[in-house]
Amino acid sequence: MKISFRKIEILLLVVLYLTTLYIWTLPIQKNKMPFGDVDSSSHFTIGDYISMYDKSIVEIPYPITFRYAGQNHIFPKYIWYPPQYWANLALAQVFGGERIVPAFLMVAIFSSLIILSSYFLIRSLFGFWPGFLSSFLLIFSTRDYMIYLWGQWPQSLSFAFTPLILYCFYHYYKNRKDNKNMPIYIYIASLLLSAQFLFHPQGMIASIGALVIFSLIMLAKNKKFPFSIKHLAVAFILFWIVSAAFAPFNIGNFFANLVAKQPANYRQSEGNNFQFDKLFKWYQGIKNDAGLPDFYFEYDKVHGSFQENIFSWWTLPFLLIGLFVLVYRRSENDFLMLSWFVSFYFLTRLIVFGFGQRDIRMFAYEAHVFYPIIAIGLISISSFFRQESLRKYLRFASIALFLILAIFVNGKSAYQTLNGMQYSIGRINPQQYEASEWIRSNLDEKADIYDIGTLGYQNFAAKVKWLGVLSQRHFIVNDNEINLTDYVFLDYTDALLLRNQDYVNSLQNFEKNFQSMTPVYNKNNIRVYKVAGIKI
């Protein structure tokens, strides 16, 4: 039986996606408790309310008003982001019939969607192998899986739309150039841009940046607009209608933020706004950033391995070769890739031009731009040789080398990190989850709870916020809210899991304050005391 290459291609694509699904769901395969830092719990909670109460909500629920009320400047009591990402998590809970695993599976699927969308674009522009190899490397992209683990999920999904938008615009342009009228591509691009707006505007800005640069290059090259004004106008109207219709309480806020002046104290420590040296340093010498760890700005770690060694740099030569090849060939597909790269460069150093609020976060999509170029660089090496048989041999040898390095350098590091997440003490443990369920069922909806003992409670950390959203009650994390305390949540579980006797002793000392009281909840080394009116 003869199997066509097309079928092999589809088979390899299925294997690629199954590998993705396996690697990206590692954190929830054995541990069914939630994970994520900073924003993750808030992205979970709106969908959780929707599915639990079986109705859509637009006002911020009481427990999280303390964190998010006012972030929507135009409608301060309303949700601070468009609801689509959260509604998807609600859909997952309804489909899956459970609270945690379905939502986290949806998050894993969405956070890894770039692997498929990138394949779609690169396959179309440069053929199967560059598409397959770059997507294969993306499975192990530290940038992407760390953002997934941290919890900036809507942003992650939004960036996954960019390759499709570039694809649409490129095919619209190519058809138009060949005198074929295919406006459907630009209309779909506008729908996808709306989708990016609905999930996170950063992705939309990344797409527009690449499209503007590509259009300018094509305009200069062909002395002709790469689009019809009529089609562009219709696409623009479509974008506005979809965005405004589905996020009426957020679209105004986005544009208000866009034109808002940068806070005076923003990055004051970095001196004036015009920091030209940043144009010449890829990672701008960023260290000790308040929101991102140092490794985020170290090439060998984010595009290689956390186990630093010489092999962690293996992608860099191919990246440089890939860039050289794109600049040397300068065909239209190469220009599209270069436009994406150049727009990335500018968007990650907007501070140089005085627009610095989000530029560091733009590094989030670095791998999406780099990995296709790395794959192009690798595949192109064989074309440097003239002898046909040698070319063929080299091509397959380089593909094999790529796969080996991707698996044993990037893959090994990614597997260890994602697999290790299953055992992280930073996650809610089953005892804490059970206690949060009890609180949700038994305490008043506007109860304010002060947590002592849960890991990180001293530093307003993620676990306390997770306890808040799981119990759907206000867990106090700001000092100025302490006088609201109705209940004290005394949690020994993390101290016991860490086997830290000093930690346990300090909690016991604190608990002596409640000797005369009977806890309203007392199970699994967690006690809840009603303390309304008592000063903490």
User: Based on CB atoms, which residue is closest to another protein, 200 or 303?
Assistant: 200
Q: Taking a C-beta distance cutoff of 8 angstroms, is the pair 483, 493 a contact?
A: no
User: Based on CB atoms, which residue is closest to another protein, 182 or 232?
Assistant: 182
- Show contacts with another protein in window 465-524 (CB under 8 A): none
Q: Taking a C-beta distance cutoff of 8 angstroms, is the pair 125, 170 a contact?
A: yes
We find the least distance from the C-beta atom of residue 81 to another protein, in angstroms, to be 12
Q: Taking a C-beta distance cutoff of 8 angstroms, is the pair 373, 319 a contact?
A: yes
Q: For residue 91, give the 3-state DSSP assignment.
A: helix
Residue 162 token pair: 């960019």
Binding region for another protein (CB under 8 A) out of 36-44, 116-124, 148-156, 379-387: 116-124
Query: Which of 12, 56, 483, 523 touches another protein (CB under 8 A)?
Result: 56
Query: Which of 115, 138, 192, 421 touches another protein (CB under 8 A)?
Result: 192
Query: Which of 194, 284, 380, 413 touches another protein (CB under 8 A)?
Result: 194
We find the least distance from the C-beta atom of residue 185 to another protein, in angstroms, to be 9
Bridge partners for 338 per DSSP:
none
We find the least distance from the C-beta atom of residue 41 to another protein, in angstroms, to be 20
Does residue 7 bind another protein (CB under 8 A)?
yes
CB atoms within 10 A of CB 353: 13
Q: Taking a C-beta distance cutoff of 8 angstroms, is the pair 475, 451 a contact?
A: yes
User: Based on CB atoms, which residue is closest to another protein, 57 or 342?
Assistant: 57
Does residue 422 bind another protein (CB under 8 A)?
no
User: Based on CB atoms, which residue is closest to another protein, 59 or 294?
Assistant: 59
Query: Which of 8, 14, 241, 397 touches another protein (CB under 8 A)?
Result: 14
The vertex-446 CA angle with 442 and 449, nearest 5°, equals: 75
We find the least distance from the C-beta atom of residue 193 to another protein, in angstroms, to be 10
Does residue 341 bind another protein (CB under 8 A)?
no
User: Based on CB atoms, which residue is closest to another protein, 101 or 495?
Assistant: 101
The Cα-based distances of 103 to 38, 45, 64, 99, 530 in angstroms read: 17, 10, 19, 7, 32
Q: Taking a C-beta distance cutoff of 8 angstroms, is the pair 215, 342 a contact?
A: no
Query: Which of 8, 12, 22, 219 touches another protein (CB under 8 A)?
Result: 22
User: Based on CB atoms, which residue is closest to another protein, 190 or 525?
Assistant: 190
Binding region for another protein (CB under 8 A) out of 180-188, 330-338, 462-470, 522-530: 180-188
* Residue corresponding to tokens 């308040």: 290
Binding region for another protein (CB under 8 A) out of 179-187, 218-226, 268-276, 294-302: 179-187
- Show contacts with another protein in window 61-100 (CB under 8 A): 83-85, 87-88, 90-92, 94-98
We find the least distance from the C-beta atom of residue 111 to another protein, in angstroms, to be 12
Does residue 433 bind another protein (CB under 8 A)?
no
Does residue 182 bind another protein (CB under 8 A)?
yes
| Of the candidates 514, 138, 523, 122, the residue with the CA atom closest to the CA atom of residue 337 | 122
Phi–psi pair at 55, nearest 5 degrees: -155, 150
We find the least distance from the C-beta atom of residue 176 to another protein, in angstroms, to be 13
Does residue 50 bind another protein (CB under 8 A)?
yes
DSSP annotation string for 127-194: -HHHHHHHHHHHHT-HHHHHHHHHT-HHHHHHHHTHHHHHHHHHHHHHHHHTT---THHHHHHHHHHH
106 vs 124: CA distance, rounded Å: 27
Does residue 198 bind another protein (CB under 8 A)?
yes
Q: In what order do the strands lie in the sheet with 474-476?
A: 474-476, 448-452, 487-491, 526-530, 521-523
Query: Which of 8, 58, 256, 532 touches another protein (CB under 8 A)?
Result: 58
Does residue 409 bind another protein (CB under 8 A)?
no
In sequence order, the 6+-apart residues with CB closer than 8 A to the CB of 381 are: 321, 394, 398
| Of the candidates 60, 50, 56, the residue with the CA atom closest to the CA atom of residue 94 | 50
| Of the candidates 333, 354, 323, the residue with the CA atom closest to the CA atom of residue 173 | 333
Does residue 191 bind another protein (CB under 8 A)?
yes
Counting every residue, how long is the chain? 536
Q: Taking a C-beta distance cutoff of 8 angstroms, is the pair 208, 216 a contact?
A: no
Does residue 29 bind another protein (CB under 8 A)?
yes
Query: Which of 60, 64, 105, 507 touches another protein (CB under 8 A)?
Result: 105
User: Based on CB atoms, which residue is closest to another protein, 368 or 527?
Assistant: 368
Query: Which of 8, 77, 181, 501 touches another protein (CB under 8 A)?
Result: 181
User: Based on CB atoms, which residue is closest to another protein, 63 or 154?
Assistant: 154
- Show contacts with another protein in window 207-246 (CB under 8 A): 242, 245-246
Q: Taking a C-beta distance cutoff of 8 angstroms, is the pair 289, 270 a contact?
A: no
User: Based on CB atoms, which residue is closest to another protein, 109 or 507?
Assistant: 109
Query: Which of 44, 66, 110, 475 touches another protein (CB under 8 A)?
Result: 110
Q: Taking a C-beta distance cutoff of 8 angstroms, is the pair 93, 71 a contact?
A: no
55 vs 34: CA distance, rounded Å: 23
Does residue 260 bind another protein (CB under 8 A)?
no
Residue 244 token pair: 């405004």
In the complex, which residues of this chain contact another protein (CB under 8 A)? Answer: 7, 10, 13-14, 17-18, 21-22, 25, 28-29, 50-51, 54-56, 58, 83-85, 87-88, 90-92, 94-98, 101-102, 105-106, 109-110, 113, 116-117, 120, 157, 160-161, 164, 181-184, 188, 191-192, 194-195, 198-199, 242, 245-246
